[in-house]
Amino acid sequence: MSDDSWRHKLKTLGPESLNELDRWRIDATQRAEARAQAKEQMKRDQERHERQIARASASEQIAALRAELATLRAEFENLSRTFADAMNTTANVFETLADERHERRAEIANLKTEVTKLGSTTDQLVVRGKHEVVDLPNPLIRRTTVN
């Protein structure tokens, strides 16, 4: 008799037609099926548990990465502000230097004009007549006294 013979007997003749061996086989088959179902359920439960652990771990990692990203963004904003302030300060320094340069050039131009005026005045003082020459000291030469 094959394993399926008791099933055929059960369907066609009813439970009264089964002998002790057939009943034992039915119980064994039911226990095996129950074990297989329990094993399959355990496998599904284990997979579900593993997915939950993986989700929790992924959630923790995502939270940590978001926190790190927020920190990096704050640091970037701080560095951007610092860089912008440094560039503004540098631009202001260059503007100040350009203004000072312009002022120095204007002062030098004024000095050249004054020197030219002094030079022409000296020329006028030296020549008072055709024969009369007065020797005036040169204001551009410094005289030092020797002790």
Residue 89 placed within a domain: yes
| pLDDT digits 0-9 by tens, 116-133 | 877 766 555 555 455 555
Would you state the pLDDT for residue 133? 58
What is the domain count for the chain? 1
Residue 1 pLDDT grade (very low, low, confident, very high; cuts 50, 70, 90) = very low
Would you state the pLDDT for residue 27? 85
Residue 127 φ then ψ, to 5° = -100, 100
Rg (CA), the chain: 55
Name the pTM for this structure.
Answer: 0.44
Range of the domain at 20: 5-126
Q: Given its phi and psi angles, is residue 14 left (phi above 0), alpha (psi -120 to 50 degrees) or beta? A: left
Structure tokens at 61: 């990692």
Q: How far is CA 44 from CA 52, 55, 58, in A?
A: 12, 16, 21
Pair 133, 127: CB distance under 8 Å: yes
Q: In this structure, which amino acid lies at residue 126?
A: V
